[in-house]
């Protein structure tokens, strides 16, 4: 498995896209690529409808800012590489590929060029996912590799599946999204997807309440913003949400389970939660641990 490859592609209508996908090495020049139903998937489906392969380049060994940007999904027209430039406070230097019409970061240690073939699918998986349990096998599209470039003594960067780097890259981009959503219903101070929740399933949110009931509305907003979230805890802004003991202290001393708990049964949950039910449905809980 290649786990840290940033896949770059282009679309006439939506521009450039950069995103991270796990890539299963099937043979010397064939990779299976896991495509969730997000931007690159849409690029690929569009190409497939036209009966064409989708050209891509896979860059490995990059600055964390680029990895983080590629992990971010905002809107289909959004160019993730420009976010990387902003984060690094300087323009990102790009170079042309050799067999595909795509630019890749100049600093890449390794670049794999190729195309995702239309109308072809093969088994991809099993893969150890962020919850430390195996994701199911799925029929996924295939990349035919057309060229490989690398630096001398190239450093191969591997993301340890279910390791902290893996979790951070998945979870961190959700936090501003949740922040923005909760901000619409009350004053939010900060958002944290916790380590214990695999940076994905559990969130803690500090708010400064404006009116009674704000804790509950913050729960609703957070669950709406990050649909994979299973449990969320709302605390006052005097609580340091990055110290899980402080968060637990708020639950111990400001929360009453009959009034301050929201239970939503049978919602769509994360496929990464091994305890979820049929069709990955789950029960979501929200804890309003603000002072009343």
Beta bridge partners of 128: 134
Q: What are the residue ranges of helices labelled H in the chain? A: 39-49, 64-71, 80-88, 164-171, 174-183, 214-225, 244-254
Asked if 241 is part of the footprint of a copy of itself (rule: CB under 8 A), the reply reads no
- Indicate which single residue of 84, 216, 234, 241 sits in contact with a copy of itself (rule: CB under 8 A): 216
Pair 206, 190: CB distance under 8 Å: yes
Residue 95 has a CB neighbour count (10 Å cut-off) of 13
Q: Near a copy of itself by CB under 8 A, which window of 82-90, 115-123, 143-151, 271-279?
A: 271-279
Provide, rounded to whole angstroms, the least separation between the CB of residue 51 and a copy of itself.
26
Chain positions 181 to 200 lying near a copy of itself, rule: CB under 8 A, are 181, 184-185, 194-198
Provide, rounded to whole angstroms, the least separation between the CB of residue 82 and a copy of itself.
22
Chain positions 16 to 45 lying near a copy of itself, rule: CB under 8 A, are none
- Indicate which single residue of 221, 232, 235, 241 sits in contact with a copy of itself (rule: CB under 8 A): 221
Give backbone dihedrals phi and psi of 112, rounded to 5 degrees, phi first: -110, 125
Cα gap 280→231, rounded to integer Å: 15
Provide, rounded to whole angstroms, the least separation between the CB of residue 266 and a copy of itself.
6
Residue 243 has a CB neighbour count (10 Å cut-off) of 12
Residue with tokens 């569009």: 46
Radius of gyration of the chain (CA): 21
Nearest to 19 by CA among 50, 45, 41, 47: 41
Closer residue to a copy of itself, CB minimum distance, 73 or 147: 73
Asked if 217 is part of the footprint of a copy of itself (rule: CB under 8 A), the reply reads yes
* 11, 39, 129, 273: the active-site residue: 129
Chain positions 88 to 117 lying near a copy of itself, rule: CB under 8 A, are none
Provide, rounded to whole angstroms, the least separation between the CB of residue 45 and a copy of itself.
15
Give backbone dihedrals phi and psi of 29, rounded to 5 degrees, phi first: -125, 30
Nearest to 131 by CA among 18, 280, 292, 260: 280
- Indicate which single residue of 26, 94, 128, 262 sits in contact with a copy of itself (rule: CB under 8 A): 262
Closer residue to a copy of itself, CB minimum distance, 12 or 259: 259
Task: Judge whether 129 counts as a catalytic residue.
Answer: yes
Active site residues: 129
List residues binding a copy of itself (CB under 8 A).
131-133, 181, 184-185, 194-198, 201-202, 211-214, 216-217, 219-221, 223-225, 227, 230-231, 244-249, 251-269, 273-285, 288, 292
């Amino acid at each position: 498995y290649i786990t840290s490859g940033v896949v770059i592609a282009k679309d006439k209508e939506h521009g450039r896209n950069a995103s991270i996908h796990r890539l299963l090495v099937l043979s010397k020049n064939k990779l299976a690529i896991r495509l969730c139903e997000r931007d690159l998937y849409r690029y690929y489906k569009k190409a497939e409808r036209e009966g064409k392969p989708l050209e891509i380049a896979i860059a490995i060994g990059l600055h964390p800012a680029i990895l983080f940007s590629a992990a971010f999904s905002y809107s289909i027209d959004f160019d993730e590489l420009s976010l990387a430039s902003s984060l690094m406070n300087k323009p990102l230097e790009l170079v042309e590929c050799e067999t595909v019409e795509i630019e890749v970061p100049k600093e890449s240690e390794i670049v794999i060029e190729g195309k995702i073939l239309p109308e072809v699918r093969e088994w991809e998986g099993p893969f150890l996912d962020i919850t430390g349990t195996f994701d199911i096998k799925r029929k996924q599209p295939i990349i035919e590799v057309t060229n490989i470039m690398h630096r001398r003594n190239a450093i191969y960067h591997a993301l340890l599946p279910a390791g902290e780097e893996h979790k951070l890259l998945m979870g961190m981009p959700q936090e501003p999204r949740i922040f923005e959503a909760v901000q619409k219903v009350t004053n939010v101070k900060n958002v944290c997807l916790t380590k214990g929740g695999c940076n994905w399933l559990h969130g803690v949110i500090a708010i400064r309440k404006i009116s009674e009931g704000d804790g509950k509305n913050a729960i609703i907003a957070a669950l709406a913003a990050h649909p994979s979230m299973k449990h969320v805890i709302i605390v006052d802004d005097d609580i340091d949400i990055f110290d899980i003991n402080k968060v637990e202290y708020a639950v111990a001393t400001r929360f009453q389970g009959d009034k301050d708990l929201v239970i939503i049964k049978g919602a769509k949950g994360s496929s990464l939660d091994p305890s979820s039910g049929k069709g990955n449905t789950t029960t979501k809980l929200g804890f309003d641990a603000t002072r009343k």
